[in-house]
Amino acid sequence: MEALRIQGLITASIGVASLKKNIGGHGNARRIGDALIKAADTAMYLAKQNGKNRVVKARDVFTVT
């Protein structure tokens, strides 16, 4: 396998979402997972809008109903 020969700069825009505490109930696992992915995706696009090479943390991500 050959190494990639990349010329120029590589940048990354990253969105991060996490839970502060365990939200009980396995029935909510799918909704919680979907909400976390959506929040991280939204944060990533915010990072892209604000310039390259940024990490944005999703805050007040969601409410589980």
> Using DSSP, how many helices (H) and how many strands (E) does the chain show?
1, 2
> Is 60 a member of any domain?
yes
Q: How far apart are the C-alpha atoms of 52 and 4, rounded to whole Å?
A: 22
> Is 36 a member of any domain?
yes
> Is 1 a member of any domain?
no
Give Cα 46 to chain centroid, integer Å: 10
pLDDT in tens, 47-64: 999 888 899 988 744 444
Query: In 1-65, which residue ranges form alpha helices assigned H by DSSP?
Result: 29-49
pLDDT in tens, 17-51: 887 666 665 667 788 888 889 999 999 999 999 88
Domain encompassing residue 63 = 6-18+25-65
Structural domain count, the chain:
1
> Is 29 a member of any domain?
yes
> Is 51 a member of any domain?
yes
Instruction: Tell me if the pTM is above 0.75.
Output: no
How many residues comprise the chain? 65
